Amino acid sequence: MNWMKFKWLYFLLSAVVIIPGLFSLLRFGLRPAIDFTGGTLLEIRYPVDSPPPSAETIQSELANAGYEIYSVQPSGSENFIIRTRSIEKEQALAIENLLSEKTASPVEEIRFESVGPVLGRELLNKTVIAIILASLVILSYIAWRFKNAHFGICAVLAMFHDSLVLLGVFSLLGHFASVEVDSLFVTAMLTILSFSVHDTVVVYDRIRESQHHQPKTPFVNLVNQAVTETLSRSLNNSLTIIFMLIALYLLGGETTKWFVFALLVGTIAGTYSSTFTAAPLLVVWHNLTHRRQKKI
Amino acid sequence: MTRKRILLLIIALLTFVSLYIDLPPFRLKTERFGLNLDWQFSRPPLNLSIGNFRFYRDLEIKKGVDLAGGAHLVFQADMNNIAPSDQLEAIQAVRNNIERRINLFGLAEPVVQTAKSGTDYRLIVELAGVTDVNQAVDLIGQTAQLDFRELSPEATEAASLDDFVVTDLTGKDLSRSEVQFNPQTGEPEVSLQFSPDGGRKFSDITTRNVDRPLAIFLDEIPLTAPYVKEAIQDGRAVINGGFTLDDAKKLSIQLNAGALPVPVRVIEQKNIGASLGEESVNRSLQAGLIGLTMVILFMAVYYGWKGILADIALIIYGLITLALYKLLPVTLTLPGIAGFILSVGMAVDANILIFERMKEEIRWGKPYNLAMELGFGRAWDSIRDANSVTLLTCFILFNPFNWPFLNSSGMVRGFALNLALGVLLSLFTGIVVTRTLIRTFSFRKKT
């Protein structure tokens, strides 16, 4: 099948997904969780017998009492997630008592998380180091594995493609749905980087193998052949992972929901990019160098 | 083929041992079909001891704070008043002290770790299953109180601990304590070094208590009550009397807890209600089962009987993984479960690569049995590459050497550990187990 005939269409599709995300990333950035900024998260549950007030009411009520509230977000029908400046446990208890005044039975504390500002900054630094380190390890692995600049650079570009998709999606989600980026998101991102490379490696391996066996066949045909041969493997493997992730996203706990979503987005992007970004990029590069050689 | 038989036997054995470890205690009772069955399955805990080496596992799944409910606390130690050379000792003392208090609180298996970040010393405390976290925080946050008590003058021969009265000598007067060895007997003993002021007080106390016991209390609990042999003027004392090295170390650390008082304050706190944890476990388990069923069906439908064999390998994979969680033991957290579930999806990858390769070899005209062997052989390069990148990433995420420049948070670690375990095990089940199964069953099918 002549997959590469439509290579510009694939790039266009990537662009359609990446550009809004990139715009949002530059314009709004990401929404860091208290892991990175420091602060307090208090999740409370209103008793069944009293109807909970709206998030705005809670926010203004707490603000009037002098608390520095960042946001109040409903979670499910009875739960609210309150984010504030880093506070002590006593103050959290005071908030709970304040809110309980309006209800028949006291509100229940589901979660209390407080991170000091110093710790947040420290984690941010460590996370940046982890990302750099992981990228370096993956890059040197690619360099060692391919010993060929074309393949190596294209694999890295495909990896960037996946990271951009993931970051863009979470920037948009952060802006429109207040989804935060925490240390688990970073974990998901690093996992996706390795997945992206591993999927690309399988396609590239096949191209190199057929290059070896059929040196006379034009490069585009080799790529087409390799894509045809690896597509079902790539799809099937991703499908099994996606089955597990979708089940976990729909049914799993609230804590890991966005973590699983990040993995899901990354897996889909990684599967797409290994066939429809990494392989066409090789062809484009090959054509460019080839044309130049002809001119000389 | 004897090698195939041996492998098959090993696999069967592994599966049954894992199944035995995995099963929770249950009871079989039926009176149908004229059978009167009442059978109780229970399993003794694993308890091995070879020489000095002891290996004990109760074979229960350990749940992390986010699953069992409880608290995750990070304390920052205030080292302002401690000389840099004593800081390591001091943080050890605080750690032991906190561990002792938590044990008194009646908690099962608390996790107390020390961490150094830049020049800061921290304590990470995980209390799974605690309901009253505030009380626990108060208890942990207290600074250790060490004091020296003498026997009250009215006490008789049958004196009890209640007869000791407080002196003016406290932990503040003790500079530090160390383990040393008696130059004559070579026995371990515990030395005490008092401050100049403390030395004077100690001199007074020992002068009036020669041949009487002098008790040392930490947080109202007696540590030791050695007899005073003679008045000590120079502020240096030695406690001896048949210590083992471990006992001496323990006492010295406890004394340091009072001598090097380090105030701690909470800088991070995460409380998780027990109901949230339980809900999450059930939902994640349900999700895992549904996902697993879908993967099993997919493999069976797409690859036919080979897929079914791969499914059997996948189930064996699940059984062995669960057994490993109980044996190592791995503390399960929600991200850990996600890591495991992700690894199930990845586990069949090796099989998919192999089966696709087999299909191709057949398409290229190779006979069936040869195609099968070639499929396993040639897919290996891709399998190895694909998994080594994932393992490298897991290594960075897990940070096994506790490099201070990398994160060592429990959640991320749990994910990385489970994913890495999953990848390694899936290589075994995906290649060795599936190949053995296919060789065994395809042989029968062909002849």
CATH (domain of B246): 3.30.1360.200
- Smallest Cβ–Cβ distance between B298 and the set A141, A205, A243 belongs to A243
Residue pair B171/B259 in contact (Cβ under 8 Å)? The answer is yes
Q: B419 CA to chain A: closest CA distance, Å?
A: 10
Query: Is residue B59 in a domain?
Result: no
Q: In 10 A of CB B81, how many CB atoms?
A: 10
**Do residue B342 and residue A190 have CB atoms under 8 angstroms apart?**
no
Q: Are B211 and B222 in the same domain? A: yes
Q: Are B124 and B175 in the same domain? A: yes
Of all residues in chain A, the one with the smallest CA distance to B386 is: A198
Cα distances (angstroms) measured from residue B404 to each of B368, B400, B401: 54, 11, 9
CATH among 3.40.605.10, 1.20.1640.10, 3.30.160.60, 1.10.1740.110 for A3-33+119-295? 1.20.1640.10
Q: Are B268 and B288 in the same domain? A: no
Strands across the sheet containing B188-194: B174-181, B188-194, B236-239
Of all residues in chain A, the one with the smallest CA distance to B353 is: A233
CATH assignment of the domain containing B15: 1.20.1640.10
Residues 54-73 of A with CB under 8 A from B: none
**Do residue A138 and residue B393 have CB atoms under 8 angstroms apart?**
yes
Among B237, B272, B307, identify where a domain stops: B272
Q: For residue A181, what is the DSSP state?
A: B
Q: Are B251 and B350 in the same domain? A: no
Q: Are B156 and B189 in the same domain? A: yes
Q: Which of the residues A34, A93, A256, A259 would you substitute to probe the B interface, choosing the one with the greatest number of B C-beta atoms within 10 Å?
A: A256
Query: Is residue B32 in a domain?
Result: no
Residues near A260 by beta carbon (within 8 Å), at least 6 away in sequence: A245, A248, A249, A252, B338
Q: Which run of H or E residues covers position B61?
A: none
**How far is Cα B243 from Cα B229, in angstroms, rounded to an integer?**
17
First to last CA, chain B: 15
Q: In 10 A of CB A136, how many CB atoms?
A: 11
Domain residue spans in chain A?
3-33+119-295, 39-115
The pLDDT value given to residue A267: 92
Q: What is the DSSP string of B191-246?
A: EEEE-HHHHHHHHHHHHHTTTSBEEEEETTEEEE-PBP-S---SSEEEE-SS--HH
At A34, is the secondary structure helix, strand, or coil?
helix
For residue B439, give its domain range: 2-22+273-446
pLDDT at residue A173 is higher than 80: yes
Spell out the CATH class of A39-115.
alpha beta
Looking at the structure of chain B, the number of domains it has is 2
Query: Is residue B49 in a domain?
Result: no
Q: Are B245 and B337 in the same domain? A: no
Query: Is residue B60 in a domain?
Result: no
Q: B261 CA to chain A: closest CA distance, Å?
A: 23
Tens of pLDDT, residue by residue over A23-69, are: 999 999 888 888 888 888 888 888 877 778 888 888 888 888 888 88
pLDDT at residue B413 is higher than 70: yes
Cβ–Cβ contact A233 with B under 8 A: yes
The pLDDT value given to residue A112: 84
Q: Residue A269: pLDDT band by 50, 70, 90 thresholds?
A: very high
Alpha-helical regions (H) of A53-148? 55-64, 89-100, 117-146
- Enumerate the residues of chain B whose CB falls inside 8 A of the CB of residue A116: 76, 267-268
Q: Which of the residues A138, A233, A246, A263 would you substitute to probe the B interface, choosing the one with the greatest number of B C-beta atoms within 10 Å?
A: A233
- Smallest Cβ–Cβ distance between B346 and the set A114, A241, A248 belongs to A241
Tens of pLDDT, residue by residue over A102-114, are: 777 788 888 888 8
Average pLDDT for residues B377-402, to the nearest whole number?
A: 81
Residue pair A30/A181 in contact (Cβ under 8 Å)? The answer is yes
Residues found in chain A: 296
Average pLDDT for residues A216-238, to the nearest whole number?
A: 88
Strands across the sheet containing B70-77: A69-75, A79-84, A39-45, A108-115, B264-272, B70-77, B120-128, B111-117
Cβ–Cβ contact A130 with B under 8 A: yes
- Give the rounded distance of the alpha carbon of A90 from its chain centre: 36
Tens of pLDDT, residue by residue over B351-384, are: 888 888 888 888 888 888 888 888 888 888 778 8
Of all residues in chain A, the one with the smallest CA distance to B351 is: A237
Among B217, B239, B272, identify where a domain stops: B272
Of all residues in chain B, the one with the smallest CA distance to A135 is: B393
Q: Are B83 and B190 in the same domain? A: yes
Q: Are B349 and B292 in the same domain? A: yes
Residues 188-217 of A with CB under 8 A from B: 190-191, 193-195, 197-199, 201-202, 205
- Supply the ipTM of this predicted assembly: 0.79
